[in-house]
Every structure is written in structure tokens, then in C-alpha cells.
Structure 1
């Protein structure tokens, strides 16, 4: 069953996301000195939540074993890494740059996997190659954790609802696909597909704000499986959880998935 954890305050939500991430980390790393923690993240507001819980929250920050983290991106905009739209760039600014100023053992990690920027600069005819190259970097045993966002249209990663992008939802061979003609700019992206999502051991969504109320109703009340987010809930319910604020979930009638904290 999908688990939903609801919070009234931004700080509480971020703290609980951080605790959940650390639980996943510790489960992988305990009793194995050679283990690596593989995590893939989306961009957008999720990056700010990660900064709040893994950098700014001193209680949690000291427990992150960065040197053993291998960080990937669930989707990436095909722009230079220093572009304002780059998910890597946003993560670098929010998490990597503050870490580099802390010193000590934190400089040992994490290992971060970005797209091949050289190919981005050479034009769109390389987009398929960018996707296949990134796929070649993925962990063969699947991810320990996927940290996902939810757009107001119900998309996650760069898996968009609707007929035009059905090719991404139905992709069964490629683990990373080129998303062309994205409904929101930049139009060219790469994205994880369902073969990656199905292999992940833990999947967590983070959603905040009153603007998410209509889509939360579509996902949890209507269970509209035309939406990639609702489809993930339906297919992988035993390993999916949501961290949301009350504003986002205020109009949802079906609260059976909400867990008390």
C-alpha cells in the first residue's frame, strides 16, 4: 500500500524526508564497508528540500555518508551544466557547493553522474546518444532510492501524460529515453523510464503547495492511471511513499493512505 506522510510545516516535512533518506542509506550501508548508496533525484523544488534536510539540518547532515553516495538524475534538461535549467546545476548550487565549503571528510563525496555536456553543445542530433550514454552509467542492480517530484499535470521525471508522450510511458527496453517536445521548456530532455522505476527498491515523492490540490485529487481520489504519478502508485504501491504538506492534500477525500507520524 502507498504510504502518505503529511506535514503542516515546511521544516517538518524536510526533516522527515531527510530521516527517510537516512533510513534507506543505513539499510544499504550497514555491515558492509564496500557498499554504495545509489540514489536518483529529480529537479525543481525537490532540490531545495534536499538542501534543507541534508545540508541545513545539522542533526541529519552529520549522519550523511556522502563518500558512499552515488547520485544520478531521474531526468535532465539538455542544456549546459551551468545553465539555469540544468538539474545538475541546481543540485550543485544547493548541495555540492555548500559541501565543498565544509571541509573534512565531506570532500570525499558524493560521486555525481551528469550528462555529457560536450554532446549537448554539439546539437540535438546527439540527443539519442546522450540518453544511451547516460543509461550506460546506471547501476546494474537498480537504485536504492528514487526521489521524485510531481508536476501540476501529474508528470514525474520527464514522463508526461497525454498521447503525445505515450512513447515514454510505453518504453520497455530503454532505461533512459530522449523526451522531445516537452510541454514545458526546455523542450529537449532525457528521462528515466519505467524499466528503471520498476527496479528501484524505494520510491519517494515530495509535493508541496496549494497549487497541487487538483492533481492530488486526480491521483488519490480518481486514481487516474493516465497520469505517470498515479501509474507508479498503482504498479509499485508496496515501495512508494509520499511526503506532502497539508496545503497540497487539503481537498483529497480518500485519506486511507495517510499515516500518522
Structure 2
């Protein structure tokens, strides 16, 4: 084999290696072009980046408005919020809590001091800490506790009243969400049984009367409210989330509420009311996506 043949063989080998390298790169579906995944090795690093993200969203909103409109879910998200926005002194010093208006993307229909209440969890993790530190807190919008009754006779009215509390002049600046192991978010659950929630196009808040997770009675904001938000961010931690993350980002299971948020906020042709550059961010732990073909970016 002469020198030229050796050179050509070397070039061909490089081409093959490049093909292999490209084949191993995660492929981001075009429909997810406005979805960004941020990966962190542990909760402390995730919370730090998440805190800076929230500060940036706050400051962006306050450039044009006098208030920061935020909706939050419950569960582990609230603990991340505490680590990010209360315990981290650098971030905490930049939070303008009195300008925050905090709503709940979903709420369990229980008394506000009940262990299952999202408001109760937020109060314990965040509001009580602010009070302890003598920091003025946000304006918080809760369900009408007086309507929570045995038998749920007023549950529909609770949803209707909470809808009237939502911002009417403009969409939310930021909605912070979790991701359930079944792909649900807010209290929007997958499957035909819960299509009445996921397919609602007119109501902003619905009564979920058959949650697969107790308690069965909840209220939830609807998909159009999530899609209209200026920015949406999910938090997903732990190896138990790995199967559903695979379904959302690789299988792209369109029956899952989390997938629908990603897809429809990225696709202006879907006919939804979404803002320009409607970014959707995911803050995830490394074990939640370990070994999956998912493209990540730093924040």
C-alpha cells in the first residue's frame, strides 16, 4: 500500500469515526426547539442554578411591570424553592418578595393546615422562614377554605372562585412545575379518564374529582394557562424519574401532559395562545436522565 492509499484510508477511517460520534449524539426533536434541559449532579447545584434562573425571570418581569406573577406546584418543588430562594443567601438577597404574586397551579381540596395542602407546604417551607427572618413576603392566593366540606358539595364552586383570582390582564410571568412518574403535571393526568381536564380549552381552573393519587379531589389550572405563560420551568429529581423522562424526551409520548407542554409551547402552528419565544426549561438531576439520549445545556 503506497503513501497515497494510506492517506485515503486514514481519511476514510476519520469519516467513519465522525459518523459514529454523530450517531451517539442525542437528537433533539425539532418540536422541542424551545425546550431546554439543565442537568446537575446533586440538589444543591440544581437549586443554585434554579435560584439564579428565577431571579432572572423576576427581573425580566419587573422591567415592564410592577408585579411578578408566579404559579407553583407542590411536592418536592417546594423544597427546591426553599433551598434556592431562602437558604441561599446570595439569591435570597435579590428576591423582591413584596412584588411577587403567588398562585397554585393545583391544590388539594383540604384545609390549608392539612398535611396534603400545597399552600400548607409552601407556608412551612418558605413563608414561615421569611417571617422568622423578618422579611416581607409575597401576596399568596389560596382556595376558599370555608368551602372545603365533607362530601365535596362545594368543590366546583372552589374551582370557579379560584379562577376569578387568576391574573386577568396578562398571563403568568413564570409557572413552576413538577413532573409525576406517570407524566402528569399540575393535576392534569394522562389517560382517557382524565381527558375532561386535559382537553379543556375555555376554563382556566378545573375541579379534578378523580385524582389517581390521594386526595382524589383537587383543583388545577388548565393546559391553556400553562401554554400562555411567559416562561415555564419543570423540576425533576431522582432515578425514579428516569423512565418517564425517557418517555417524554425520547419516545415523545404525546398522551403525557408534560410532553404536551413541551410540544405545544414549541409549535406556533398548534394554534395555542403562547408568547413569542415561549421557552420551557427543565432542571433535572443527573440520575433522572442517566444513560438517556437527552441533550442538555448549562444555565
TM range (shorter): over 0.9
The answer (yes or no) to whether the contact 1:18–1:53 under 8 Å persists in 2 is yes
How far did residue 127 of structure 1 move?
A: 0.7
Matches within 5 A, 1:201-240: 201-237=230-266, 238-240=278-280
- Aligned residue number for residue 24 of structure 1: 57
* TM-score normalised by structure 2 residue count: 0.83
* TM-score normalised by structure 1 residue count: 0.95
Q: Which has the larger radius of gyration?
A: 2
Matches within 5 A, 1:78-89: 78-89=109-120
How far did residue 45 of structure 1 move?
A: 0.1
How many residue pairs are counted as aligned between the two chains? 254
How far did residue 123 of structure 1 move?
A: 4.1
Matches within 5 A, 1:2-41: 2-30=35-63, 35-41=66-72
Alpha-carbon distance in 2 for matches of 1:208, 1:126: 35
> Which stretches of structure 1, 4 residues or more, deviate above 3 A after TM superposition?
none
Which of 101, 105, 113 is matched with 2:141 structurally?
113
The answer (yes or no) to whether the contact 1:159–1:169 under 8 Å persists in 2 is yes
How far did residue 260 of structure 1 move?
A: 3.4
- Aligned residue number for residue 199 of structure 1: 228
- Aligned residue number for residue 298 of structure 2: 260
How far did residue 149 of structure 1 move?
A: 0.1
How far did residue 198 of structure 1 move?
A: 1.9
Does residue 98 (structure 1) correspond to residue 138 (structure 2)? The answer is no
Alpha-carbon distance in 2 for matches of 1:100, 1:200: 29
Q: Secondary structure at the match of 1:76?
A: strand
Alpha-carbon distance in 1 for matches of 2:156, 2:215: 16
Which of 52, 61, 72 is matched with 2:92 structurally?
61
Q: Structure 1, unaligned stretches of length 5 or more?
A: none
Q: Secondary structure at the match of 1:166?
A: helix
How far did residue 241 of structure 1 move?
A: 0.8
